[in-house]
Amino acid sequence: MRVLVTGAAGFIGSHLVEFLLAHGHDVVGVDCFRPHYDVEARQHNLAEVQESPFAAQRFSFFTEDLATADLGPLLEGTSAVFHLAGRPGVRDSWGSSFSSYLHDNIFVTQRIAEGMLEFGVPRIVFASSSSVYGELGDRVKAGEHDEPRPLSPYGVTKLAAERLLLSYQDCFGIDVVALRYFTIYGPRQRNDMAIQKFIQAGLRKEKIFVYGDGTQQRALTFVEDCVRATIAGLSLPPAVYNVAGEKVVSLHQILDVIDAALPEPLQRVYSARQAGDVSATVADTSRLQASGFAAVVPFEEGIAQQVATEKKHFALLLERA
């Protein structure tokens, strides 16, 4: 099967491309390398993908802005789109940068949907976010039938992109699988994400800033589990699905596990919680589990893998210094 992966050089996208190639798919990847997060890191991700034994025969890559690109070479002959490209980040979505979130998360999604109609692509697997839910309130877990109440402009744009695609499904018959990711972590995590920042600061023996009191809860999802769920989107019934690990941990627990994997404990500095950060993201994953999927990588093992990867990168940086 020939598939398109947008955001193919990103954290999740690069892992997804590797898994798809390993499972026999032909993959078209696209990324525009926007500078809102580390271009060098994404170039490194792409280089690792291109080292795959399957890449030379079955992977083609385009550096394109999907807002202006000719979509024909990307979509023609494609059976499905994995749409992971977009502008990430809750805290940066306030203020003047909101226009870029509208552009990258909504306009680009609409353009892809129109391209799918033009070139007869029947299915899209869309990377949404737990940020669409907002605070849990009286709920124990967030379920797909719950009313979304995003607390950040980022969450608003992800919800709008979901609803936009569902409009194309209702009116034009495109199959839409929207996956609401819950706190994905693991090797290649973006440098602006909390776990990666904590690990890198610990290796450099720098202080870390903890926003809030550390009791915030997260349903962490290891990137390998996230990718398996995403590939399952090729055959899942069209719907919205939560994608999350089963173990819910506090920020204190996350920091303690990172401490255990580092040479020295983290130097923690606590400050006020940031606007848009929710106190808990806990997922009801029963809909996805009913399809036979379950997250399998234990939280402690996933953190250990991420720390080990960063230790190797840090050692290489020291050698070059």
pTM: 0.94
What average pLDDT score do residues 228-235 get? Answer: 97
Q: Which CATH topology does 2-185+222-243+278-295 take? A: Rossmann fold (3.40.50)
pLDDT tens track for 267-292: 999 888 877 677 878 899 999 999 99
Q: What pLDDT, on a 0 to 100 scale, did the predictor assign at position 276?
A: 67
pLDDT of residue 251: 93
In terms of Cα–Cα distance, which of 65, 62, 76 is closest to 29?
62
Q: Which candidate in 154, 168, 181, 185 is catalytic?
A: 154
- Taking a C-beta distance cutoff of 8 angstroms, is the pair 55, 23 a contact? no
- Does the pLDDT value for residue 216 go beyond 80? yes
Q: For residue range 56-74, list pLDDT tens digits in order.
A: 899 999 999 999 999 999 9
Residue 213 — pLDDT band, cuts 50, 70, 90? confident
Q: What is the percent of the chain where pLDDT is above 90?
A: 76
Structure tokens at 312: 């190797």
- Output DSSP code: residue 132: G
Asked if 154 is an active-site residue, the reply is: yes
- Relative to beta strand 248-250, strand 217-219 is antiparallel
Tokens linked to 142: 């967030």
| 127 neighbors 83 (Cβ within 8 angstroms) | yes
C-alpha dihedral sign at 24, 29, 35, 41: positive
